[in-house]
Amino acid sequence: MVEPRPRRTVRGSRTGRPIMALLDLLGRRWALRVIWELRDGWLTSRQLREACDDVSPTVLQSRLSELRAAGLIALEHRHGYALTPLGRELLDSFLPLHGFAERWAAEALAEQG
């Protein structure tokens, strides 16, 4: 699967707008989750696998490659994976989602049990 990059046409968009490349990248399975799980620091690929409910290594490695190519995470020898400054910035950008998820849960419970 092609690695999404800004200013390049991506899966589902012919415009090449950066936001589209980003939505393609983040819309792939486990991509958001991986970034989320790296919020507190380094994780080896196996720790990451555990953290993501034993995701299959095939997809995990795909996502890791893509996220690395996108410059959002980095791999350091004997440490594992971590967010780059850019990746950290991205995480901060959707950190409000966590708070939202809680409100969402509250509202969904109120409505439908």
Residues forming the site for its own copies (CB under 8 A): 5-7, 12-14, 17-23, 26-33, 36, 52-53, 55, 70-71, 86, 89-90, 92-94, 96-105, 107-109, 111
DSSP one-letter string for 77-91: TTTEEEE-HHHHHHH
Is 78 among the residues that bind DNA (CB under 7 A)?
yes
Is 67 among the residues that bind DNA (CB under 7 A)?
no
CB 13 within 8 A of CB 78: no
Element at 74 (helix H, strand E): strand 73-76
For the bound state, the minimum distance from the C-beta of residue 31 to its own copies, rounded and expressed in Å, comes to 7
CB 73 within 8 A of CB 84: yes
Q: Is the dihedral of CA 44, 84, 25, 89 positive or negative?
A: positive
For the bound state, the minimum distance from the C-beta of residue 48 to DNA, rounded and expressed in Å, comes to 7
For the bound state, the minimum distance from the C-beta of residue 46 to DNA, rounded and expressed in Å, comes to 4
In the complex, the residues that contact DNA under the rule CB under 7 A are 1, 11-12, 28-30, 44-47, 54-59, 61-62, 64-65, 75, 78, 80-81
